Each structure stands twice: as C-alpha cells, then as structure tokens.
Structure 1
Amino acid sequence: MRLLVVDDSALMRRMLQECFAGEPDIELLAARDGEDALAKLHSFAPDVITLDINMPKMDGLSCLARIMEERPCPVVMVSSLTERGALATFEALELGAVDYVAKPDGTVSLSLDLVYDELRAKVRAAFAGKRAKARNAARPAPARLAPKAPPAAPAARVVQIGRNRAGSEPVELVVIGSSTGGPKTLGDILAALPADFPAPILIAQHMPPRFTRIYAERLAGICRIKIRELDRAQPLQPGTAYIAQGAKDVIVTRKMRRLCAEPMPLDGGLTWHPSVSRMVASALETLAPERLVGVMLTGMGDDGAAEMARIHQNGGRTIAESEETAVVWGMPQQLIAYDGASVVLPCDRVAEQLRHWLVVPAPQRTSQCR
C-alpha cells in the first residue's frame, strides 16, 4: 500500500510517519501542503491519503476537491475536535473523503499518538474498501433482484423487496448502526424518507463529541423528517431521527407507556461509541423483535452485529448494506455472517425498503420472504 500523508507541520508529518513505522507493507511519502500533495498525487500514485484540513497556500478542502477531480482515491481527514474542525470534516465527507480522525485535545499535535491505533485501522480499512470495490468492478454485474443465496457463506445477498414474517406487526422503532463512511450514507437514506414516516429512528453513528450536534444540524437542512441530537432523555416521536450524542452510549426504555431513549455514560467494556450493540440490546429488552427494524450500514468491526441478528432470528426485520456500496464492508458483513440479515441491499435502496415495510399498509401474511 502506498500512503501519502499531507500536513504543513513538520512535527505532525514526523508523528504521522512514526505512526506507520514498522508497517512493512506500507510505502509512505509525506507532503508539506496541498500544492505539494497534488504534485505527488500523480508521481507517487498513492492508494490512500491522510489529509490535514488547516494548511497554508491550499487548505485541505480545496486539495481534496482537486484530488477527487484529478485522481480519486480514499482520503482520511485529520481534523481537530473543535466546532470549526467538525464543520470542515463534514464538508470533506460530502466532497468524497471516506473517514476522519479527530486529533485529541483540539490542535495539540503532541497528543496525536493517542489515536495512532484508530488512524492505522482507518487507513487500512480505506485501502481494503478500495480493493473490494476494484474486485467488484471486475466481476459480472449480479442480478439485482435475485432471491437470496443460502446463508452458509457471508457473501453479499440482494433480495427482492418484500415483507417477511413480521410484516403484519406495526413497527415501533427503527435502529440504525453505522461507522466509517456512514455520515454521507445516512444523509442520503434519511433525506429519502417522507415527513410522515410512521416510526422514530434511533441512530448510533460512531462519532466523537461536538460532531454529533453539528451533524444533526446539517441533516436537518436536507431531510423532511425531523432530526435531533439525543442530548437528554426524551420520548421518541414518529417522523423523527435521533442521533446518539458523541462520547455517550444510548439506551431504549419505556416510561409511562411511552417509548423513550436516553444517553448514558460510556460502557468501558465496549470498543466503539456510541455503541450499536448497547443500543440494539436495550431495544430488544424493551420491544418485541417484530416491533423493530434494524439497519446495519458501512463500518469497521462487528459492533451490534450479534444483537441485530437477534432481531431477524426472532421475528423482526433487518437490512444489511451490500458490499457494492459500503465504504467498509465490516459491520454489515458480520450481520450477514450471523445469518442476521432479512435483506441485503445497496445503500440507495435502503430508504425504499423502509418505506415499503413501514409506509405501505401490510398485507395479510401468506408466506415468508427471507
């Protein structure tokens, strides 16, 4: 893998190079600013780029736009944990960056070593996603509406839209788990839902503090449903999507016969936060599986896969994003491996499936569609 690290600070470039020292399969080159990065974009031909946002001459966003125009490749942004850094990060994701790493303690570069493991994991995930997309592009196009294959192997399985055995039960809650590549995918899905969507949507998107409020505000500007950051315990309303607050987990409860959600202190035994596993487990403790719909989108690891599989295996419905559109096919792949996906769909068909399951009146159950 050829990795280009771009930062105007000599100290930061040295620390980024230190982060990947001892990785024998990585050929690394550094660029001192956006202009230098564009020059090396063609001569070095990187597989992945890490890109600072704040640089002189050409800032990271301008550089990213040129990269996507001249030679697109996976870009992981390195941003600060400030409001300005969060805004710029979301602009970068909209321009085509696949992920970001937030520097701890704002702009204190000496603390970058605290996120070395995260940075290495995200760079490798970006490279794996690039290779997977190259493999898929070389394959013959599969039939988009073919019946699902047997569940023996965890391969992408695309099925015809239809109701499964839970189709006659009213859905009280949709739970969505997402990580790397998720912010843009979530935006596209939520923007395609009608304002009168009949159930609340609770989302655990792996994201640091400060970012979730700004993310919710940006989504509110493009969606017909209401978008809220879940910053306090509150009842869940139909036609509203709730983004779990960064640096918190979220649980589902029922109070005074009303379905509620509330932020909780982090569970130190879990790796990713807000935790998809904890959110879905609490939803299953509060609601019957047939009253739930689970959606697993792009992301590294297996957060929430086992818990979401229980929804499907006990009478509920689940959607796993297919490999063809997932930036990182980790979390949805694990859901499929658990035989936990009712349907496997590209991200541009997820909203259509949700509308079909929840908005169209359910017919009488005569058969199962799995």
Structure 2
Amino acid sequence: MRLLIVDDSALMRRQLAKCFESEPDIEVALARDGEDALLKMREFQPDAITLDINMPKMDGLTCLAHIMEERPCPVIMVSSLTEKGAMATFEALELGAVDFIAKPDGTVSLSIDLVFDELRAKVRGVVNPSRRRTERPRVAPRASVRERVTERLASSRPAAARPSRRIVVQQSGDCDLVLIGSSTGGPGTLGAILEALPADFPAPILVAQHMPPRFTRTYSQRLQETCDIRIEEVDRPTPLEAGTVYIACGGMDVAVTHQLRRIVARPVDPDPDRIWHPSVAHMVQTATSVLDPKRLIGVMLTGMGDDGAREMAQIHVEGGRTIAESEETAVVFGMPQQLIEQGGASLVLPFNKVAAQLLRWVGTQTAERTAACR
C-alpha cells in the first residue's frame, strides 16, 4: 500500500516516516505542505494520507477539501491535543477525513512515537485491500459541507435469569436505553445517524466513541449545531432522559448505574486492561448488569478490533435487539464484523438506515410520524 505523509515540519515528517520503516508492505512518500501534497497525490496515487492541519501556503483543511473533490481516499488527520486542534479536527471529519491521531505534546511533537502503534493500526484499518485505488463510498458530509465541496465540497437463545438488582425504568415504548459503540470513522457516521433522529426520540442514547480527552466536548457541541435531538457530554454523573444523546467523556470509560430508580451514566477511570477508551465493552457490560437486556438496543458502528462485540452479542442472546453496520458503509469493518461473527446482530444495515430502524423499534407515535414524512 502507498501512504502519503503531509506535514510542514521536517522533523515531524522524519518521525512519521520512521513509524513505517518496519512495514515492508507500506511505501511512503512525503509532502511539506498542502500544495506539495496535491502534486504528490497526483504522482504517487496513495491508498491513504496522513495530513497535518496547521501548514503554510495551503492548510490541511483546504488541502483536504481538494483531495475529496479530486481524488477521494482515506485521510487521517494529525491534530494537536488542544481545543483549537479539536475544532479543526472535527471540521476535517465533516469534510471527509475518516479519523485522526492526536499529537501528544503540540504541533511539533517530540513524543510522537507514543502514538506509532495507534497510527499504524489506523492506516492499515482504513485501507481495505479489495477496495484500493477505488473511490469507495464515504460517510456523507453534513449538508453545509456538501454545498461547499461538490457532493463533499459543493434468533436468540432463551434469556437467562437476571439478578433482582435490575430496575424497570418507565420510558415510553419498550426500550430503556440505546447503546452505540464506534471507533475509526465513527464521528461522521454517528453524526449522520443522530441528525436523522427527532428531538422527542423516546429513549436515552448512550455513546462510547473512541476519542482522546478534550475532544468529546467539542464533538458534542458540533453535533448539537446540526441535530434536533439534545446532545450532552457525560463529564459527571448524569441521569439519562429520553430525547437526549449522551457522549461518553474522551479518554475515560463510562458506567451505567442506577440511583433512586433512575438510570445514571458516570465517567470512570479507564480500565488499564482495555486498549480503547471510552470502552464499548465496559459501557454495555454495566448497562446489562442493571437493566433488562430485552429493553436494550445495541448499535455497533465502524471501528477496528472487537471492543464490545462480545458484550453486545449477549444483549442479542438475552432477547434484546442489536444492529451491526454493514461492510458496504463501514470505514473499518472490524467491530461490526466481530458482532456479526459472534451471532450477535439482529440486523446488519448500512449506516444511513440505522436511524429509521431505531424509530421502528421504539414503536411510538414519533416513529409513525417520522416514517410518514419520509
């Protein structure tokens, strides 16, 4: 596979290239800014690109817009761990980037080697060998971006008996909680799903999206700009209410508990035995310990690895309902594929059909009203 690394710092280019020195099947080319990247892209025909955001002549966002218009391919942004870096990163994701890597300590990071394993995994994850050098479908950008950049620019086993500590929560319909897990490629996919849900969706939604600290607050704020349903970051113990999406705090895990007969989500220290955070497995496992799986809905979206697949499959086994994103739209098919292979998917759907299915499953007037408008 061919990888184009774009960064205005010669030191960073050398360091990022070093990350792939031990990968004999990855050929690397380097570009010093956005203008150079577009020239190299035409000559080198990369399968994937890592792209810095802050560069002279042509910045990363402008370069990304041209890439998405001229020759769409998987782009991973290399971002700084700051609020400004987070805002630019999510603008990049809205423009068509599939994921990002956060530099540990600033624009020129002397400890970039700390994320080498993650970077190699993400580069390999976003390039499907069967789809190389093709313009495969990407997550649709939001309407405001579509106008600027062409279409981008301009049956389960009987349920086991559950402990009596579980509670029954009086939500409308027959669902107490929707649990969504996602990783690589997830921010754009999740945004498209949530934008299709109404403000009065009759159950709470809890999301574990693999993301570093300080990014989930900005992500939640940007989602709220385009979603009718309410969006909130779980940065403290939070009672879960219908009509709200709760985004687990970046770099932490999230646990579902109950207090005074209410469902509560609270951030907890990340489990050192788990690789990715917020952990989908921890979220689902704690939810099924206090709620009846028959009244849970699990959704597994794009992402590497198998985080939460076993736990979400158990929801299906015990009578709950689950959705796995299909390979045709998943940026990385790993997590949904694991759910499917474990026999844990009630349905396999492209991401753009997930919202409609959730509305059918909640079985309320909201769903009927929304369906009538489609």
Residue 298 (structure 1) aligned with residue 302 (structure 2): yes
State the match for 1:106 in structure 2.
106
Residue 173 (structure 1) aligned with residue 149 (structure 2): no
Alpha-carbon deviations, 1:50-88, whole Å to 9, x = none?
110000000000001111111111111100000111011
Q: Amino acid of the residue matched to residue 193 of structure 1?
A: L
**Residue 30 to residue 185, structure 1, CA distance change in 2 (3 Å):** same
2: CA distance between counterparts of 1:290 and 1:321? 21
1: CA distance between counterparts of 2:232 and 2:25? 43
Q: Amino acid of the residue matched to residue 97 of structure 1?
A: A
Q: Secondary structure at the match of 2:207?
A: strand
State the match for 2:41 in structure 1.
41
Q: Normalized against structure 1, the TM-score is what?
A: 0.87
Q: Normalized against structure 2, the TM-score is what?
A: 0.86
1: CA distance between counterparts of 2:225 and 2:315? 32
The gaps in structure 1 that reach 5 residues or longer are 138-149, 152-167, 363-370
State the match for 1:348 in structure 2.
352
Q: Amino acid of the residue matched to residue 286 of structure 1?
A: V
**Residue 65 to residue 129, structure 1, CA distance change in 2 (3 Å):** farther
**Residue 223 to residue 341, structure 1, CA distance change in 2 (3 Å):** same
**Residue 245 to residue 211, structure 1, CA distance change in 2 (3 Å):** same
2: CA distance between counterparts of 1:169 and 1:338? 28
Q: Which of the numbers 226, 237, 255 marks the counterpart of 2:241?
A: 237
State the match for 1:328 in structure 2.
332
2: CA distance between counterparts of 1:48 and 1:134? 12
2: CA distance between counterparts of 1:256 and 1:324? 43
1: CA distance between counterparts of 2:239 and 2:69? 45
Alpha-carbon deviations, 1:73-113, whole Å to 9, x = none?
11111000001110111011111111110001233411100
Q: CA deviation at 1:231?
A: 0.5
1: CA distance between counterparts of 2:282 and 2:95? 32
Higher relative contact order (CA 8 A, sep 6+): 1
Q: CA deviation at 1:126?
A: 1.2
Q: Amino acid of the residue matched to residue 349 of structure 1?
A: K
1: CA distance between counterparts of 2:252 and 2:72? 34
**Residue 46 to residue 64, structure 1, CA distance change in 2 (3 Å):** same
Q: CA deviation at 1:25?
A: 0.5
Q: Amino acid of the residue matched to residue 337 of structure 1?
A: E
Q: Is contact 2:173–2:202 with CA below 8 Å preserved after alignment? A: no
Q: Amino acid of the residue matched to residue 20 of structure 2?
A: F
Q: Which of the numbers 191, 195, 209 marks the counterpart of 1:191?
A: 195
The gaps in structure 2 that reach 5 residues or longer are 138-154, 157-171, 367-374
Q: Is contact 2:322–2:346 with CA below 8 Å preserved after alignment? A: yes
Over the matched positions of the two proteins, sequence identity in percent amounts to 67
Q: How does 1:104-253 map to 2 (within 5 A)?
A: 104-128=104-128, 131=131, 170-253=174-257
Q: CA deviation at 1:320?
A: 0.4
Q: CA deviation at 1:135?
A: 11
Q: CA deviation at 1:185?
A: 0.8
Q: Secondary structure at the match of 1:62?
A: helix
Residue 316 (structure 1) aligned with residue 320 (structure 2): yes
Runs (4+) off by over 4 Å: 132-137
1: CA distance between counterparts of 2:360 and 2:243? 15
**Residue 321 to residue 195, structure 1, CA distance change in 2 (3 Å):** same
2: CA distance between counterparts of 1:33 and 1:346? 35
Question: For this pair of structures, how many residues does the alignment match?
Answer: 334
Q: Is contact 2:47–2:133 with CA below 8 Å preserved after alignment? A: no
Q: Is contact 1:197–1:359 with CA below 8 Å preserved after alignment? A: no
State the match for 2:77 in structure 1.
77
Residue 60 (structure 1) aligned with residue 33 (structure 2): no
Q: Amino acid of the residue matched to residue 91 of structure 1?
A: E
Q: Secondary structure at the match of 2:284?
A: helix
Alpha-carbon deviations, 1:236-255, whole Å to 9, x = none?
01000000001110010111
Q: Is contact 1:213–1:229 with CA below 8 Å preserved after alignment? A: yes
Alpha-carbon deviations, 1:305-339, whole Å to 9, x = none?
00000000110000000000000001000000110
